[in-house]
Amino acid sequence: MTVGRKLGAWLVVLSLLGGCASWGTPIGIPLRNKTRFASEWKKYEGMAGFKALAVAGNLGGIYVSGWTSDYCEQQEATAEALQRCEERRRDRKISGPCRIYAVGNEIWVPKE
């Protein structure tokens, strides 16, 4: 991935995080009739290119996510989303593992 793409991806991440004024509050508090995750999902859906979204924790409560967009290859987007989620998970001490939630705009449910 080029430096320009990485910088662009981080700028998008930072702008998304900027909308969340407090990481200390429960994520499930309604935000204009939506949870914070629903709001984050809507932004994610509008992103282009190969993309992925990974999450850890409780989407109705406290969680972290890592996402990527505008990648040239899906495998690269998925790996990077997991890595970003894992960094946030460790930083915020979320006990559950990061898992892929979506690949592209499709919610991904792993086969067990």
| Cα 101 to Cα 37: distance, rounded to the nearest angstrom | 12
Number of domains in the chain: 1
Rounded alpha-carbon distances, angstroms, from residue 18 to 22, 40, 69, 89, 105: 9, 12, 18, 18, 23
Q: Which domain holds residue 41?
A: 3-20+30-107
pLDDT per residue over 24-67, tens digit each? Answer: 334 444 445 557 888 889 999 999 999 999 999 988 788 999 99
pTM score of the predicted model = 0.66
Strand partners, 64: 56
- For residue 112, is it within any domain? no
- For residue 96, is it within any domain? yes
- For residue 55, is it within any domain? yes
- For residue 25, is it within any domain? no
- For residue 56, is it within any domain? yes
